[in-house]
Amino acid sequence: MIKAQRGGKLWLLSVLSAGLVLGAQTRTEDRKPITIERAPQRVIKDQYPSFSAVAINPDENMLVVTDENLFQILEYDRRENTPAQARLSEPKRVISGPNTRAEMMCGVYIDPVTKEIYVLNNDTQNWLPVFSRDARGNATPSRYLATPHGTFGIAVDEEKQQMYMTVQHQNSIVVYPKQAAGEEKPLRTIAGSDTQLEDPHGIALDLKNRLIFVSNFGNAQISPPGSSGGRRSADTYGKFEPPSITVYPLDASGNVKPLRVIEGPKTRLNWPSQMAFHEPRQELFVANDADDSILVFRAGDQGDVAPIRAIKGPTTGIKNPPGIALDVKNGEVSVASMGTHAVLFFPVTADGDVKPLRIIRGGPANQVALNIGNPGAVGYDTKRDQILVPN
């Protein structure tokens, strides 16, 4: 009796379920898709490039800068100086388009022999595309390498033909053969809690003393001893640390401790981004993004030390500088000033609130860049009547 009643209830439920499904299908079939083409009332978008990374080949007077806003690679003559009355300087060539596999480009390198251009994607693509000296427009890379997500800085040991890259989200450094392509794996990786790699961005090499310098924003991932580690590990947790510069042997691998660390309030580090090492002067130049400055440290500095020089102030024109490059031959440092659509040039000995030697502008003078890069959301502040855009 009880079994019969249970069976009846199950049969009734199955009939009701079938009816509901049939009804839902009928209603769905009755609906016709509607395409609404409606232009937005207004658009907030910067029409000019946001310069992020910069590289120089002085023998060819070749300056290459990446643009995170319009997804472009632009080449200028490094001697260009945009006239004050000009709207901007036109580049000698532009590489851009869907075939390039290049979007949010944070790192760039020029091969000193072939003049090939290596660019690092950061947020939206996981490729390192390489372009020939003559590539332009919507060019297909001559080769490309699959890289971990979130690469930022690149430095190359030409003698050993090896590329060093920082990986933000994995708190690591990966080293590849310079000619690596496709799905080739890294030769070695520097990663782990002992490394003190904490959201690494810039990277520079001292080949004379066989050292790696890495700039860190300070977003640490802590894994207990014996843990498998990694962002997705259950026992890994995050921690905010001060910004820093960590130093390693050139052949370092695995969970290795830094030889020394530059960190503390005297350093003035605040979002330290790309770096460049001046080997003859034994000086490390740091693009200090959030402080609108360029900091210079001695190669052997460690601890809470003040920079020996700092280029900073309204006369410099520096605003949110993520990129930097050294021209040892001509005694200059070039700065990608994302906040002003410009590349600025200073003597390597510059200090304080100094005027640039010259400026290459990608947009009108005195026009502040919007700095919208890969916005993940949008909010509205009703009290202040402001649109909030996290990047």
What 80-87 contacts at long range (C-beta under 8 Å, 24+ apart), as own/partner pairs, is 80/358, 80/360, 81/358, 81/359, 81/360, 82/359, 82/360, 82/361, 84/365, 86/361, 87/363, 87/364
Reported confidence tier of residue 23, pLDDT bands at 50, 70, 90: low
Long-range contacts of 361-366 (CB under 8 A, 24+ apart): 361/82, 361/86, 361/88, 361/89, 362/48, 362/49, 362/51, 362/67, 362/74, 362/88, 362/89, 363/47, 363/48, 363/49, 363/87, 363/88, 364/48, 364/87, 364/88, 365/84
Q: What is the CA radius of gyration of the chain?
A: 26
Residue 247 CA to residue 196 CA, distance in Å, equals: 10
Alpha carbon distance 187, 232 (integer Å) = 24
pLDDT recorded at residue 255 = 96
- Name residue 61's amino acid: N
pLDDT computed for residue 20 by the predictor: 52
41 contacts: CB under 8 Å, gap ≥ 6: none
**Which pair of tokens denotes residue 210?**
């066989």
**pLDDT(323) > 70:** yes
Q: Where are the domains of the chain?
A: 51-388
Of 14-23, 209-218, 273-282, the least confident: 14-23
pLDDT category of residue 354 using cuts at 50, 70 and 90: very high
* pLDDT at site 224: 65
Q: How many CB atoms lie within 10 A of CB 167?
A: 25
Computed over every residue of the chain, the mean pLDDT equals: 91
In this prediction, residue 384 carries a pLDDT of: 93
Q: Is 361 left (phi over 0), alpha (psi -120 to 50) or beta?
A: beta
Query: Looking at residue 199, what is its pLDDT?
Result: 97
* pLDDT score for 387: 86
pLDDT grade for 64, boundaries at 50, 70 and 90: very high
Mean pLDDT of 130-141: 98
Are 222 and 235 in contact, with CB atoms under 8 Å apart?
A: no
Percent of the chain whose predicted confidence (pLDDT) is above 90? 77
C-alpha 16, offset from chain centre: 56
- Express each pLDDT in 146-203 by its tens digit: 999 999 999 999 999 999 999 999 999 999 999 999 999 999 999 999 999 999 999 9
Q: Is 51-388 assigned to CATH 3.40.50.300?
A: no
242-246, 353-357, 385-389: least confidently modelled range: 385-389
- pLDDT over 50 (residue 6): no
Helix and strand numbers (H, E) in the chain are: 1, 28
- Please indicate whether residue 195 or residue 28 has the higher confidence score (pLDDT): 195
| C-beta atoms surrounding 176 within 10 Å | 20
Mean pLDDT value of segment 72-88: 97
Taking a C-beta distance cutoff of 8 angstroms, is the pair 28, 312 a contact? no
Q: How far apart are CA 230 and CA 235, in angstroms?
A: 9
The residue among 202, 166, 181, 90 whose CA lies nearest residue 128 is: 181
pLDDT one-digit tens code per residue, 244-299:
999 999 999 999 999 999 999 999 999 999 999 999 999 999 999 999 999 999 99
Q: Considering the chain, what percentage of its residues have pLDDT values greater than 70?
A: 89
